[in-house]
Amino acid sequence: MLDLEAAGIGDGISEVIVTTKSAAGKPNAAPIGIISESTEEGERRYFVKLYRGSQTLANVLATGKLAANVTTDAVLFVETAFDDLSAACFTEFAGLPVLAEANAWIVFTSKLVEERPQYLRVQLCSAAVKINRKEVRAINRGLNAVIEATVLATRLRIVTEKREREVQRKELERYAAIVAKCGGLRENQALEILRERLFKDAPV
């Protein structure tokens, strides 16, 4: 069995950037959580929730595969949530596009196990793993706050009710304060990109 923990995928939900390709071969990248669950027999199973209308879901349905890119680069999480990356950001591993600067790549095959109105739950089976570098880094609250702010921002883009939008904007500013206090250069750059894209894309 492939050692996914050594590649950075632990218990609970591991935030990664998932890369896929369309049937025509076009690469796509998006931040997604890999869900790790233990069976009664002690086996580890992995899942993702892929939302209807997303390019990631369309690509996985077309090819049956995805790659998890393990990285702590806050800017990449924000950029892939809002924009398409340039071709220069990708390389190839085990037949899939992957992020050239990622610390590790895990290629999964997929199996649809549940359909919900908003998303499909897909079980993952690891097919190939490559660890490019083992990064030793202390926990940084700024990075965690960027991840939470990015998740919130993607939801905020589709919220139309004024009161709810105001509540979420205040929550976003709470995360921004943590980034300002605890984050480094990349975390603060990521937050600025997030704010620019949210202001550009979200309804007033």
Mean pLDDT in residue range 132-150: 92
| pLDDT for position 168 | 79
Burial 16-33 (b: 16+ CB within 10 A, else e): bbbbbbeeeeebbbbbbb
Domains and CATH numbers, the chain: 12-131 (2.30.110.10), 141-201 (1.20.58)
State the pTM of this model: 0.90
The 8 Å CB, 24+ separation contacts for 12-15 are 12/36, 14/68, 14/70, 15/77, 15/147
- Which pLDDT tens digit goes with each residue over 70-92? 999 999 999 999 999 999 999 99
